[in-house]
């Protein structure tokens, strides 16, 4: 069955990401030989996702975003999944694949929902008026969101954290944005919303909410939010899987029989 090659019809696969020729690989228009020598990895991420090299300012901001996602210890379900699977003796790519599968609606979903929320609100103004958005408009959008969510008892995506009152990553990201004047319309909206929600409910932006605003100002489509999060978090997941493999040589026993309550 050697000829069973799953070969594809000529020209049946189209892509704008990378052109591969014999002995030559060109990604987003750049020869990989040049990219290897000259581009920072974080800029490479921006380039491959957005199709263009970031400006110096974009490069700095995008680097903050990626670093801020790096790890949250053993507490998230994704990290625990990576460790559980590793402990069963499966290879590291299986452990990491399982971890990614734990980025469900309730775990990593908030970033895309927050990006959609901010972008739909900002876009609603752009549609009416293409001059710059003023602070009064931002304030009224924040009130609009507050009324649509908090007043109706719905959780605002990107706010609150199970372990922190002040998520230090969100706090730092917003501090950097303010100090450096990185205040595009989506960040302004996130900050205005935070002021409102904090004054009434004592809840602040979390790392997803802060990055949703930043990535929106950088022009990222909400559909790429989880992707950027995965890129940032992958190194942490690998560190945990590796730690589990190295420090643990037996098949763990995850519970004792009397840890379990039978309800049948």
Cβ 134 to a second copy, closest distance in Å?
A: 30
Q: How far apart are CA 237 and CA 35, in angstroms?
A: 26
103 binds a second copy (CB under 8 A): yes
How far is Cα 208 from Cα 200, in angstroms, rounded to an integer? Answer: 21
Exactly one of 68, 119, 137, 216 binds a second copy (CB under 8 A); which one? 68
Q: Shortest CA distance to 208 belongs to which of 96, 116, 137?
A: 116
Binding residue for a second copy, selected from 54, 61, 98, 121, defined by CB under 8 A: 98
**CA–CA distance, 147 with 89 (Å, rounded to integer):** 50
How far is residue 175 CA from its own chain's centroid? 19
Identify which of residues 17 and 128 has a Cβ nearer to a second copy in the complex: 17
Report d(CA 119, CA 219) in Å as an integer: 10
Beta carbon of residue 93, minimum distance to a second copy (angstroms, whole number): 5
Compare residues 130 and 261 and give the one whose CB is closer to a second copy: 261
User: Which parts of 228-257 interact with a second copy (CB under 8 A)?
Assistant: 230-232, 234-236, 238-243, 245-248, 250-257
First to last CA, the chain: 51
- Report the alpha-carbon distance of residue 258 to residue 264 in Å, rounded: 15
Site string for a second copy, 160-199 (x = CB under 8 A): --xxxxxxxx-xxx--x-----------------------
For the beta sheet containing 18-21, the strands, ordered from the edge strand earlier in sequence to the opposite edge, are: 18-21, 24-27, 30-31
- Range 117-146, binding a second copy (CB under 8 A): none
Rule CB under 8 A: choose which of 54, 58, 61, 64 binds a second copy: 64
In the complex, minimum distance from the CB of residue 147 to a second copy, in angstroms, rounded to a whole number: 24
Residue 57 CA, distance from chain mean position: 19
- In the shown chain, the binding pattern of residues 21 to 40 toward a second copy, with x for contact by CB under 8 A and - for none, equals xxxxxxxxx-xxx-xxx-xx
In the bound state with a second copy, the residue whose beta carbon lies nearer, of 18 and 55, is 18
């Amino acid at each position: 069955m050697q000829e069973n090659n799953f070969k594809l019809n000529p020209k049946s696969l189209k892509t704008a990401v990378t052109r591969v020729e014999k002995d030559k690989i060109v990604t987003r228009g750049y020869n990989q030989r040049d990219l290897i020598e000259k581009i920072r990895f974080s800029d490479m991420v921006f380039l491959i996702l957005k199709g263009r090299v970031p400006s110096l300012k974009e490069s700095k901001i995008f680097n903050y975003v990626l670093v801020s996602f790096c790890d949250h210890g053993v507490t998230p379900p994704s990290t625990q999944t990576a460790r559980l699977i590793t402990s069963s003796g499966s290879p590291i790519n299986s452990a990491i694949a399982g971890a990614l599968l734990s980025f469900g609606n309730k775990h990593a979903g908030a970033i895309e929902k927050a990006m959609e929320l901010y972008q739909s609100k900002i876009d609603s103004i752009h549609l009416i008026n293409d001059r710059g958005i003023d602070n009064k408009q931002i304030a009224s959008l924040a009130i609009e969101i507050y009324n649509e969510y908090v007043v109706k008892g719905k959780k605002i995506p990107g706010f609150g954290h199970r372990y922190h009152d002040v998520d230090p990553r969100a706090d730092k990201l917003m501090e950097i944005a303010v100090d450096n004047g990185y205040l595009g319309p989506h960040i302004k909206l996130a900050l205005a919303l935070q002021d409102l929600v904090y004054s009434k409910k004592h809840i602040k932006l979390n790392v997803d909410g802060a990055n949703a605003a930043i990535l929106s100002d950088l022009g990222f489509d909400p559909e790429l939010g989880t992707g950027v999060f995965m890129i940032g978090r992958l190194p942490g997941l690998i560190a945990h899987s590796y730690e589990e493999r190295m420090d643990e040589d037996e098949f763990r026993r995850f519970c004792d029989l009397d840890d379990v309550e039978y309800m049948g």
